[in-house]
Amino acid sequence: MATRRATTPPKPSTPAKKPASPPPARAAKASEPGAARLRELIEEATVDAYDEEEQRMGFYTMLEDNLAVPFETEVLGVAVQVTEVELNDAQDIVAVCQRGRHTQRIAIVDVPLPKPPPEGAEWIAAYRRWRSEQ
């Protein structure tokens, strides 16, 4: 005698979902210099430097000569004015940030850039790249 198996009714067909397409590739922002341009800037800042300290001074000079200050940006969600770039006691390049009567010096590599960035901001990007390679 044959045994009878229980069968489940077929599920109603649903249209197949298309696989999610990958997000579009991010195009490089026009304000961000490419790797080749960063290399050129690093070379320009460090061309006559013999050691790391002299290279840092080369970047400091380029930032002083080319970065348009003052400019406004946000640090920890607070609007500040970057009024100048200077060297601190440890010979690190810092941005002098002011808000009202308060002043704070922040490593230039840690300063978030506004959109659009100030003229000469490519030197900050080059210095960041150089520091990451040290």
Looking at 14-51, list the stretches that DSSP marks H as alpha helix, in order from N- to C-terminal side: 35-46
Q: 34 is written with which tokens?
A: 């490419």
pLDDT digits (tens, 9 = 90+) for 58-103: 999 999 999 999 999 999 999 999 999 999 999 999 999 999 999 9
Q: 83 is written with which tokens?
A: 């009024």
In a domain, 81, yes or no: yes
In a domain, 39, yes or no: yes
In a domain, 9, yes or no: no
In a domain, 52, yes or no: yes
Residue 33: band (very low, low, confident or very high) from pLDDT cuts 50, 70, 90:
confident
In a domain, 22, yes or no: no
Its domain, for residue 73, covers 35-133
In a domain, 27, yes or no: no
Residue with the larger pLDDT of the pair 90 and 21 = 90
pLDDT of 1 above 80: no
41 DSSP 8-state letter: H
The whole-number pLDDT of residue 49 equals 92
Model's pTM, two decimal places? 0.74
The whole-number pLDDT of residue 25 equals 39
**Overall number of domains in the chain:** 1
User: Residue 55: which H helix or E strand, with range?
Assistant: helix 52-66
Strands (E), the chain: 71-75, 78-87, 93-99, 102-107
In a domain, 101, yes or no: yes
In a domain, 46, yes or no: yes
Buried b (16+ CB within 10 A) or exposed e, 35-51: eeebeebbeebbeeeee
pLDDT digits (tens, 9 = 90+) for 109-130: 999 999 999 999 999 999 999 9
Q: 31 is written with which tokens?
A: 């304000």
For the chain, how many helices (H) and strands (E)? 3, 4
